[in-house]
Amino acid sequence: MKKQMIILSLAAFMAILTACSGNTESQAPGNGGNQAIDMNQEETSEVATGTEGEGIYAEIMDDAGRTVTLEQKPERILPLLPTTLDMTYAAGATPVGGPTIPEHIDMKHLPQEAYELPNVGHLGGYAEAIVEQQPDLVIGSLNHHDGLVDILSQSGIPIILLRINDYDDAVEKAEIFAQITGNRDIVDTRLHDMKAKISSIQDKLPEDKPKIAIVHINPRDVALELDGSIAGSAAKILGLNNVAAGSSPLNDRPDKTPYSIEKLVEDNPDKILLTTMGDDEVVQGRIRQDIENNPAWGSLQAVKDNEIYFLPQDLFLVHPGLYFDDAVEYMATLLYPEIFSNEP
């Protein structure tokens, strides 16, 4: 996995953020306390198991509020996102197809066969390709695949729509994957190992936590990430003070809030973490081409200390699912290299 830490040049960083700066809602600092990882946390997804003779294997309430009835245990599962593809394999099942996995995304837990599965398109959006694989269950995203429900129902193909944005979502959805695959022991073991690793990391953290800003850059705009994002959730687990915590979210992206250079200067984070979309080299190249100077950035502590970093997309753009501990470990090692000596 491409885990080399990239420190963004000050001038490049100023250019892209100055260009995209806008007004933001009021923001409140994080509480600075670690999110406790309950080793006995019960998953809250609604999954009802049928009894022999009823003709029902399971009834699943998905995140669209739909009750999806499975008459038999699914044997031809088709996940439509890299995250749900990864979670299907983590639950001990082999899918019949999968979405396009961008070349610059390195998902280290996927077996080689995952890259050779029949491809149903970017974000799994090709209905014809999905139907062609004759799945008996499609695992879609609440954000991307609502339009496939009626299309697939005409072919008698059930689809569940899941929302997987942060750590808690991964824990909750583990119950669904355990039920779908029938491999509860495998899922429970992965959950236990994930929680144990995170707890071990938390035990080593210092009392004083840095103040951070998590800035998301995509071709459309720039935003700050809240606790409900992947990076925000990892930061909350580590007890970091996210300057955007408590801010009003964007209407179409509840895990993000508007970005403002003025507000960021006022909050003055110790460290700035960047998440991006697209090829990292392309994104960085575009930023460096637009180098500008902005005196406001010179006052930021993160700039003075050269504490500006890219976070890898294979952990902080693509949700790591049942390997969320990898994201927490990466961030912990990035911010506390003197404690977590292994390279991320």
3-state secondary structure labels for all residues of 277-316? CCCHHHHHHHHHHCCCCCHHHHHCHHHHCCCEEECCHHHH
Q: Which of 160, 180, 198 is the last residue of a domain?
A: 198
Asked whether 15 and 292 are in contact (CB, 8 A), the reply is yes
Do 59 and 114 sit in the same domain of this protein? yes
CA distance 78 to 73: 14
Which H or E element spans position 162?
A: strand 159-162
- Please report, as a single letter, which amino acid is at residue 102: P
Do 216 and 79 sit in the same domain of this protein? no
Asked whether 263 and 26 are in contact (CB, 8 A), the reply is no
Q: What is the pLDDT of residue 245?
A: 92
Nearest in space to 321 (alpha carbons), one of 107, 70, 138: 107
For the chain, the residue count is 344
The answer to whether residue 41 sits within a structural domain is: no
Phi-psi label, residue 18: left if phi above 0, alpha if psi -120 to 50, beta otherwise: alpha
How far does the chain reach from its first CA to its final CA, in angstroms?
9
The answer to whether residue 309 sits within a structural domain is: yes
Q: Identify the three-state secondary structure at position 82.
A: helix
The answer to whether residue 48 sits within a structural domain is: no
Q: What is the pLDDT of residue 33?
A: 64
Do 269 and 286 sit in the same domain of this protein? yes
Do 328 and 216 sit in the same domain of this protein? yes
The answer to whether residue 225 sits within a structural domain is: yes
Tokens of 171: 């824990």
The answer to whether residue 214 sits within a structural domain is: yes
Do 194 and 282 sit in the same domain of this protein? no
Other CB atoms within a 10 A radius of the CB of residue 148 amount to 21
Q: Which of 140, 165, 198 is the last residue of a domain?
A: 198
* 161: β partners: 140
The answer to whether residue 220 sits within a structural domain is: yes
- The CA-based angle 218-220-224, given to 5 degrees, is 60
In tens, the pLDDT along 73-99 reads 999 999 999 999 999 999 999 999 999
Do 226 and 108 sit in the same domain of this protein? no
Tokens of 157: 């193909």
Do 262 and 180 sit in the same domain of this protein? no
- Please report, as a single letter, which amino acid is at residue 234: A
Residues of the chain with pLDDT under 50: 1-13, 22-32, 43-44, 51-53, 287-292, 343-344
Do 190 and 245 sit in the same domain of this protein? no
CA distance 107 to 105: 6
Nearest in space to 149 (alpha carbons), one of 162, 160, 164: 160
How many domains is the chain partitioned into structurally? 2
Asked whether 173 and 87 are in contact (CB, 8 A), the reply is yes
CA distance 194 to 317: 19
Q: What is the CATH number of the domain that holds 269?
A: 3.40.50.1980
The answer to whether residue 102 sits within a structural domain is: yes
CA distance 112 to 110: 7
Which residues touch 112 (CB under 8 Å, ≥6 apart)? Answer: none
Q: pTM for the full model?
A: 0.85
Q: What is the pLDDT of residue 218?
A: 81
Do 142 and 176 sit in the same domain of this protein? yes
CA distance 311 to 188: 28
The answer to whether residue 67 sits within a structural domain is: yes
Do 66 and 165 sit in the same domain of this protein? yes
Asked whether 148 and 134 are in contact (CB, 8 A), the reply is no
Q: What is the pLDDT of residue 261?
A: 82
CA distance 177 to 227: 24
Do 218 and 250 sit in the same domain of this protein? yes
Residue range(s) defining the domain that contains residue 263: 6-34+206-335
Other CB atoms within a 10 A radius of the CB of residue 22 amount to 12
- Please report, as a single letter, which amino acid is at residue 170: A
Instruction: Tabulate helix, strand, coil % of the chain (nearest 5).
Output: 35, 15, 50
In tens, the pLDDT along 243-280 reads 999 899 888 888 999 988 889 999 999 999 989 887 76
Backbone angles phi, psi at 316, to 5 degrees: -120, 0
Do 302 and 266 sit in the same domain of this protein? yes
Q: In what order do the strands lie in the sheet with 67-70?
A: 47-49, 58-61, 67-70
Phi-psi label, residue 252: left if phi above 0, alpha if psi -120 to 50, beta otherwise: alpha
Q: Which of 167, 198, 229 is the last residue of a domain?
A: 198
